[in-house]
């Protein structure tokens, strides 16, 4: 028997820059969670749809911040990054 749980997903394209050449880049950031009895709050109660939605938005915000802080490297600069680190 297969049970399908509803999934809440947020995200979309985010604009950023290559950290080496400063070229404009677009990356897709997406986070999702399912609404299921296994998705629980720290106190052990099952999360409601609204709580799951808030948790997904919080994870998405963390992912966007990590993208901005860590930066990305474009495909043209990837070989250069390996030589810069040595």
- In tens, the pLDDT along 14-62 reads 998 888 898 999 999 999 999 988 888 889 999 999 999 999 999 999 9
Distance CA 39, CA 35 (A): 7
Closest to 10 in 3D by CA, of 68, 52, 66, 67? 52
pLDDT at 7 over 60: yes
Instruction: Report whether 77 contacts 18 (CB < 8 A).
Output: yes
């Amino acid at each position: 028997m297969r049970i399908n749980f509803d999934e809440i997903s947020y995200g979309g394209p985010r604009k950023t820059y290559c950290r080496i050449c400063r070229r404009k880049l677009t990356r897709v950031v997406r986070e999702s969670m399912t609404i299921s009895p296994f998705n629980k709050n720290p106190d052990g109660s099952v999360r409601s749809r609204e709580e799951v939605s808030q948790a997904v938005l919080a994870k998405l915000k963390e992912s966007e911040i990590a993208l901005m802080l860590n930066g990305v490297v474009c495909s043209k600069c990837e070989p250069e990054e390996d030589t810069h680190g040595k």
